[in-house]
Amino acid sequence: MQEKLLSATLSIVRQHGVDLFIDVSRPYAYTMVVEHEGKKILLKVAPNADEVPTGALRDVKLLSELLDVPALGVASSARGSVLREGVVYRRDNVNFVSLATLAKAFRGDMPMFLQIRGRRYALVDGEALRERREEAGLSLSALSEMLSVSRETVYRYERGDMGVPEEAATTLARFFGTDIFKRIDLFTSIKADSIDKASRAIGANAYKLEQSHPNGIAYDERPIFIVKSEERREKAEALASIFGAEVVRG
């Protein structure tokens, strides 16, 4: 199944850009670097988003931040079910999407729904929602009754304080259109959090990578790949040439 997913991903990538790097050495997820409209993107291709180890996701976040490159996963399933088109499954702050969602994103149609654990939400543009509600002559109370939520909940939607559950979002879209919702930009870099960095720090702005080709990554005017083992050097140098990184022996 993983080989079929990789083949299908390559087909989509080549319709919209080029593949620059492929590594299939890790059984849980293949690694790709692709270029789309002049932007390099790091992809993890995995049948099941939940089977990608936490350590690998931590590597992805550190690489994304220090290389300033977008990173995301392409998966067939998450949380025991098929990953739906138009839904972003977020795990440890890394976004996973279906191949169909990736293809639409390459065409400029970004997804609307975010799934965290087992629940799906849409992020509403609160000002747009308020304007549409007022144009329709609806009070907060009237809209809350339509959505079967409290008046306070609708008020929080309009303030942008909370996501809108899928059922309520579907109702809002039917009445006010989908353009009241914010789209999720898949092609932005990810920031590693303080725990990610503290657990991997090996020096000033230098971090260990556990499941990637460089053994570590640092930043000093430009990215630096740290390589300790010869078996990782060839792939690390290939990645370095793509991202303009320096390779040093650790």
The verdict on pTM exceeding 0.85 is yes
pLDDT digits (tens, 9 = 90+) for 184-205: 999 999 999 999 999 999 999 9
Averaged pLDDT for residues 209-235: 94
Measured distance CA(152)–CA(170) in Å, rounded: 19
pLDDT digits (tens, 9 = 90+) for 88-106: 999 999 999 999 999 999 9
- One domain, residues 37 and 101: yes
Percent of the chain with pLDDT over 70: 100
- The rounded mean pLDDT for the chain is 96
- One domain, residues 7 and 86: yes
- One domain, residues 226 and 152: no
Averaged pLDDT for residues 79-93: 96
Number of domains forming the structure of the chain: 2
Q: Which domain holds residue 216?
A: 2-118+186-249
- One domain, residues 29 and 98: yes
> Which residue, chain included where needed, has tokens 């629940």?
119
Residue 28 has pLDDT above 90, yes or no: no
- One domain, residues 46 and 129: no
On whether the CB atoms of residues 192 and 54 are closer than 8 A, the answer is no
- One domain, residues 165 and 197: no
Q: Given 156, 180, 204, which residue is the final one in a domain?
A: 180
Averaged pLDDT for residues 56-77: 98
- One domain, residues 33 and 83: yes
- One domain, residues 105 and 143: no
Length of the chain: 250
Residue 124 identity (one-letter amino acid): V
Averaged pLDDT for residues 23-29: 89
- One domain, residues 172 and 197: no
Token pair of 121, please? 């939400």
Averaged pLDDT for residues 164-172: 97
Measured distance CA(227)–CA(216) in Å, rounded: 7
Q: Given 136, 160, 180, which residue is the final one in a domain?
A: 180
- One domain, residues 193 and 211: yes
Measured distance CA(174)–CA(96) in Å, rounded: 27
Residue 1 has pLDDT above 80, yes or no: no
- One domain, residues 109 and 196: yes
- One domain, residues 64 and 167: no
Residue 142's domain is classified under what CATH number?
1.10.260.40
